[in-house]
Amino acid sequence: MSGDQNSGDTGWSESFEIVPASYDEKELNLDGFEQIDEFSSPGSSKQVPGLRLDNHSGFRFGIGCAFSGFFSGVHYFREDVGIPWWKKKKLRKKHDKLTEDPFRYDFYSRLWLTYRRYFPKLGSKFISDCGWGCMLRTAQMMMGHALISFHLGREWRWNFTITVPALESLHRGIVSLFGDTEDCVFSIHNLVSFGRKIGKEPGDWFGPTSAAYVLRDALNMASNSHDILKSIRIYVAQDMAVVPSEVERLLQNEDGSRNTVIVMIPALLGLERFNQSYVPCLKQILAMECTIGIIGGRPNHSLYFTGWQDDSLIYFDPHFCQPAVDVHTPDFPLESFHCRIPKKMPFRRIDPSMCLGFRFNSFNEFQGFKELVERVVNITDSQGRISPMFYFTEDPSSSQEVQNMRSLSLDLSDSDISGFELLPFSS
């Protein structure tokens, strides 16, 4: 089944309506990379400021939370590693409690793809991507969320204690695309292999632009051989310019069948530092029904942003090294691909280089997105000039805005902007 069958929600303006919910509010610590240790439970009548998780589909509410520790609250629910019965019972109770909280359950159901170790050798020496593969892992997470929302629907939630065989089989099929062997479509091995075409070697750090292109190339190579990927296409914008006719072309095949298109837009929102004037724009981006998140973070430290609360972004952190999982084994454990503990980072600390992700099932959806972006997702400088986050044009070569951005980017060294690259590709 596909996400467009389940959602059908194209109410763009409704995406920005703040709907507070009743939760107990706890003190929020916005400093540093801290982790949610405990969420409050429903039941209080106190109104809390709004929280956003991307592509919410009717799920927009406030939540109180406290941050502390580093993955201190992560628990896995593996049934095959000799866990004592009394501990299994305790972990089930924790899982049941998690499913009672809509936000935490939504977060937990998304794919979490992290550093892995002890996978088949990559290149001549690497058996782990620790220290250099975080951008590729966040790109994997963006792709994983797009596939989950398309095939299982935005309202799908993972419950390891109660499974629907057909849905669980599809869930496993999507996860297996991100295994750590060469025959997995979006494996670290394949992405690095495509990276060699743009001068990247195993151990090199990828930027948002290069990560978007290798993801697209991996999909193009395998889309006809995997049922899960047959109707998925990726469009990567160049120089922050989106060409509508190219998106429309990818949405429909020559035989009249339709595709879903993932639009990835590498963006540069500032020079040496993130321009905080764009904070309202990013909040609106993350509130859109079509968004699949943002690949960003800080220099050489990539994170996958999926929502926001007050002045901070909510994210998945790939910087947690876990043993590689053999996804070819029947009923391979899924728990290490899901994270119970959200983390957050102040907007002011993010790097200006990032990649925005969106998913469209039709050109009408894309047109609605385009109209909304042209109306609200931009800033105005002190001289009254409008500065959009990205542009729509049919001729990037003659667009003055794109020429200005290309000139600016070419003048910046790698030490100025980490990860923003101009690559010689067409989409």
With 90 as the cut, is the pLDDT of residue 415 above it? Answer: no
Does this model's pTM top 0.85? no
pLDDT value of position 208? 94
pLDDT value of position 236? 97
Token pair 């043993």 in the structure block, residue? 323
Question: DSSP label at 81?
Answer: S
Residue 134 known to be catalytic: yes
Q: Which residue has the higher pLDDT, 112 or 11?
A: 112
CA 94 to chain centre: 26
Confidence band for 93, pLDDT divided at 50, 70 and 90 = low
With 90 as the cut, is the pLDDT of residue 315 above it? Answer: yes
Confidence band for 99, pLDDT divided at 50, 70 and 90 = confident
Token pair 């500065």 in the structure block, residue? 387
User: Could you tell me which residues come within 8 angstroms of residue 88 by beta carbon, excluding any fewer than 6 positions away?
Assistant: 77, 79
Residue 319 known to be catalytic: yes
φ/ψ of 151, rounded to 5, equals: -85, -35
Q: Once rounded to an integer, what is the mean pLDDT over residues 289-308?
A: 94
Confidence band for 300, pLDDT divided at 50, 70 and 90 = confident
pLDDT value of position 89? 63
User: Could you tell me which residues come within 8 angstroms of residue 132 by beta carbon, excluding any fewer than 6 positions away?
Assistant: 203, 204, 205
Active-site choice (65, 134, 184, 290):
134
Confidence band for 110, pLDDT divided at 50, 70 and 90 = very high
Q: From CA 260, how far away is CA 282, in angstroms rounded?
A: 23
Helix (H) / strand (E) element for 387: namely: strand 386-388
Tokens (6 digits) for 244: 């509508």
Q: From CA 164, how far away is CA 175, in angstroms rounded?
A: 16
Number of C-alpha atoms within 13 angstroms, CB side, residue 14?
11
Active-site choice (101, 106, 239, 317):
317
Active-site choice (145, 189, 319, 338):
319
pLDDT value of position 86? 58
Q: Per residue in 32-61, pLDDT tens?
A: 333 333 333 333 333 333 455 554 433 333
Q: From CA 267, how far away is CA 402, in angstroms rounded?
A: 12
Q: From CA 153, how far away is CA 167, in angstroms rounded?
A: 10
With 80 as the cut, is the pLDDT of residue 367 above it? Answer: yes
pLDDT value of position 389? 87
Q: From CA 261, how far away is CA 235, in angstroms rounded?
A: 7
Q: Once rounded to an integer, what is the mean pLDDT over residues 126-132?
A: 95
What are the DSSP calls for 363-393, one per residue? HHHHHHHHHHHHHHSEEE-TTS-EEESSEE-
Q: From CA 207, how far away is CA 135, in angstroms rounded?
A: 7
With 90 as the cut, is the pLDDT of residue 225 above it? Answer: no
Q: Per residue in 341-351, pLDDT tens?
A: 899 999 999 99
**Rg from Cα positions in the chain:** 21
Residue 226 known to be catalytic: no
With 70 as the cut, is the pLDDT of residue 73 above it? Answer: no
C-alpha torsion sign, points 122, 124, 130, 136: negative
pLDDT value of position 299? 83
